[in-house]
Amino acid sequence: MRAGADSLQLQLPLACDPGRTCFVQYYVDRDPGPEARDFTGGSQTYDRHDGTDFRLASSVAAAGPLGAVRAAAAGTVLRIRTDAPDVSVRETGMAKVAGAECGNGLVIAHAESYETQYCHLAQGSVTVRPGQAVAAGQVIGHVGLSGATEFPHLHFTVRRADRPVDPFAIDGSAHPGRQASLWDEAVRASLRYRTGSVLNSGFSDGPVTMAAVEAETASPLRARAETLVAWVRAISLEAGDVQRLVVRGPDGQILVENQLPPLANPRAQSLVFTGRRRPAGGFRAGTYEATFEVVRGGRVVIGHRFVGTLP
């Protein structure tokens, strides 16, 4: 089966550059039982997850142009929600969002009994109303932190005749490369399957926490720093993955490194850091290079390099 010219063809529902400013965190769960598997047979999903989660590399960018949510296809708005607060479910608890897990969002009806739903939008950001016709690519809101979510992202669901459809594989199979897709060809190419990605990284002159990385408040690397810390946040890691972060000084010699034990379970996101206190003579001026690797089954599946400079 192949999506024909008269079938629904989806545009990217988020204003971003896949693989650079946004990433797919989770796919539709294709397993009918209590286990979970995505359309490739992989583990980048969880039990009964009915949509695709698009995550921005920068949470702060959710409030700006990169966080614009767009209609994936032309259609008519069926219903909206706009009044849910932008608060992590880690703070509120699931009981507070029961019945409104989608948070702020909307549903759009399309031809051939298709619908698309957009969840976790920012409070007050929905720009359309029920009954309004929308064009493909039209901005309809912005990414937020409403509903049952712990981080800003867009949960995008496709349904046909009230049943969830996986836009990456609409024929119901679970064999890599053989499925028909609802994505426009150019969009599909940009959304190639990634088994783990680096979301962001950097150097700091102080301790780094996940909260500071999320809010982009980690202190930068400065002259006369008391500590020199390199950090990396990776997503969609697999059980057994080994993460290693190495920092080299301006002379090319290893300054410090950190290798974590193999992951016991799949990890939605992981923050790795390593650093050193200021030596008696201070840190040498120049460029410090950090390399981050994820080794899976004896093979490097993620390699990432970044630098920081001390004047």
Q: Which residues of 137-155 are buried (b: 16+ CB within 10 A; e: fewer)?
A: ebebbbbbbbbbbebbbbb
pLDDT for 311: 86
pLDDT of amino acid 61: 62
- Beta bridge partner(s), residue 201: 232
Dihedral in degrees, nearest 10, Cα atoms 40, 57, 12, 177: -20
Positive or negative CA dihedral for 205, 206, 207, 213? negative
Instruction: State the pLDDT at residue 211.
Output: 86
Q: What is the CA radius of gyration of the chain?
A: 21
Per DSSP, the three-state class of 60 is helix
Distance CA 145, CA 120 (A): 6
Q: Where would I find the beta strands (DSSP E) of the chain?
A: 22-26, 52-56, 68-70, 75-81, 104-109, 114-121, 133-134, 139-142, 153-160, 163-165, 197-204, 227-237, 242-248, 254-259, 267-277, 286-296, 299-310
Give CA–CA dist 134/147, Å, rounded.
24
In a structure prediction context, what are the per-residue pLDDT tens digits for the chain, which is 311 residues long?
344 444 789 999 999 999 999 999 999 999 999 999 999 998 899 999 999 999 998 776 666 666 999 999 999 999 999 999 998 888 889 988 898 999 999 999 999 999 999 999 999 999 999 999 999 999 999 999 999 998 899 999 999 999 999 999 987 544 444 468 999 999 999 999 988 999 999 999 999 999 899 888 899 998 888 999 999 999 999 999 999 999 999 999 999 999 999 999 989 899 999 999 999 988 999 999 999 999 999 999 999 999 999 98
pTM: 0.88
Q: What is the DSSP letter of 186?
A: H
DSSP lists the bridge partners of residue 170 as none
Look at residue 38 in the predicted model and tell me its pLDDT.
Answer: 94
